[in-house]
Structure 1
Amino acid sequence: MPVRYICKNCGTELYKFERVGQDFYGVRTPSEIKAIFGGKCHHCGHEFQVPSMEDITFRPKKQLKVKVY
């Protein structure tokens, strides 16, 4: 399941972690993402905040439909 960090204001995807081995560091924390971008969205300039539990969403990955003959 990918982990995506998205700007709350404009919806720009800031970071996406798709699989283990993608990079040396693994999944980045919200504070690391904030530090990487200087605390603001590079697209709209919105200042980042640490997300609350209401800001975090979990969605199941699309299931692959297989036809059996």
Structure 2
Amino acid sequence: MPVRYICKNCGYELYRFERVGQDFYGVRMPSEIISLLGGKCPRCGHPLGVPALDDIRIRLRVRWANKHG
């Protein structure tokens, strides 16, 4: 299951972590993403901030085999 950081304002995907071994650093913290992008969304220029707990969503992916038995 990927970890995605999304701009609250425009919905642009700021960062995506797909799997272990993707890069040397692993899953980046929100503060690292903000720093890498200069504190603003590259698409809309909206200031980025650290998400509150209400901003974090966890969704489960249902695999076809599990769903159809």
TM-score (norm. length: structure 2): 0.91
- Inter-partner Cα distance in structure 2 for 1:54 and 1:62: 23
What is the aligned partner in structure 2 of residue 44 from structure 1? 44
Question: Number of aligned pairs?
Answer: 68
Q: CA RMSD in A?
A: 1.4
Superposed, which structure 2 residues align to 1:23-62 within 5 Å?
23-62=23-62
Q: Which runs of 4+ in 1 moved over 3 A?
A: 65-68
Normalising by structure 1, we get a TM-score of 0.91
CA–CA distance in 2 between the matches of 1:64 and 1:18? 20
CA distance in 1, matches of 2:49, 2:62: 30
Q: Measure, in 1, the Cα distance between the counterparts of 2:13 and 2:2.
A: 12
Task: Determine which structure has more spread, i.e. the larger CA radius of gyration.
Answer: 1
Deviation string for 1:25-49 (max 9, x for gaps)?
A: 0000000000000000000000011
The structure carrying a bigger helix percent of its residues is 2
SS of 2:32's equivalent?
Answer: helix
Q: After superposition, what is the alpha-carbon deviation per residue over 1:13-62, rounded to whole angstroms, capped at 9, x for unaligned?
A: 01000100000000000000000000000000000111000000000013
> How big is the shift at 1:3?
0.3
